[in-house]
Amino acid sequence: MDRSFLTNIWYFASASSSIKTGQLIHRQICKHPMVLGRTQSGKVFALQDNCPHRGIPLSEGKIIGEEVQCCYHGWSFSTNGLCTSIPSLADKTEIDLSKISVRTYPIKEYQGLIWVWLGDGDGQNVDPPTVPEVENHGPQVSHVLEFPVNIDHAVVGLIDPAHTPHVHESWFWRKPSGRTKKEKKFKPSQLGFEMLPHLASKNSKIYRLIGGAPEVRIWFALPGIRIEQIKAGKNFYCGMTACTPINENNTLTTHMMWWSMKWANFLKPVVRHFARTFLKQDQTAFMKQSKGLQWHPPLRLAGQPDQQAKWYFRIKNEWARTEDDGKEFKNPLKETTLEWRT
């Protein structure tokens, strides 16, 4: 795998709701072409998206029962990647189908999220990030966009507090003129860092919909996951944004939302609109950024507003180093307090 991508880690692949029973979809993760599917029994699987016969994508085929059938010559494959049938063969043809296979990718599905393991083994001793409060319920809203930048730029944009009043200026969010000083405490977490619980910013009107005095907790985890939890009494909102590298120049970003307020279920179309608008603003900024990045200009991170970006590169490099050395990852970050204006 390209060293710009991390190995032996779970990558977010899709919201469960995006893969219906009997459906196949294509995904490219870290340059790996994959077909994700759900069999008639509800089992989710991930295979390399190429038929070993002529290379046509298996995602162009169909699911028949518990198997995938190629659209070109009807070759069939089980969810463990083994060829089970070649319809064109005569009855007496001696071919060992067990020697024909497609690469499989370990997969996990819970909380309405699908994760794919890239690396050694099956990843069963490692858990993907968990969204708090939601138990095993899928997100009420999910929205996907492709950003024309690599995973590093996508993640830095995801955890950057300074761009918000400029890129996301709107009546329901923040304005540059409303910039105030922020002081946040951070601590290292298993695969990243956490902004400790704090009262919601007064210049974020949308937080008031939770009711009471909302408390916010935000954390980031490798390879590109940001989770935000807002609680006020019995009410909560959880948002997860997952950056999944497609290749060296493109990143698929998925934003999902959970909430406990029943009245909010009637506002799903409005929530979807706001989520779409918010991510579109990021996408527009990344499209502009990609125009400048084509010249490979020298870039500089400046001060505490960019400290989270520095942490990302530090823990990413440490993860890669420990993988090369065959050692266990140990988070090198320390507890600290950051200040910025936004």
Alpha-carbon distances of 304 from 185, 190, 338, rounded to whole Å? 12, 22, 6
Dmax over CA atoms of the chain, in Å, equals 79
Instruction: Please give the model's pTM, rounded to 2 decimal places.
Output: 0.93
pLDDT of residue 336: 97
pLDDT of residue 143: 94
Pull the structure tokens for residue 48.
């390399």
Closest CA to 251 of 296, 295, 290: 290
- Residues, the chain, total? 342
Asked if 115 and 250 touch (Cβ cutoff 8 Å), the reply is no
pLDDT of residue 180: 83
Closest CA to 79 of 48, 33, 56: 48
The ranges of the chain with pLDDT < 50 are 1
Asked if 115 and 254 touch (Cβ cutoff 8 Å), the reply is no
pLDDT of residue 1: 41
Amino acid of residue 17: S
Closest CA to 7 of 114, 117, 102, 103: 117
Asked if 67 and 41 touch (Cβ cutoff 8 Å), the reply is no
Domains detected in the chain: 9-118 (2.102.10.10), 141-341 (3.90.380.10)
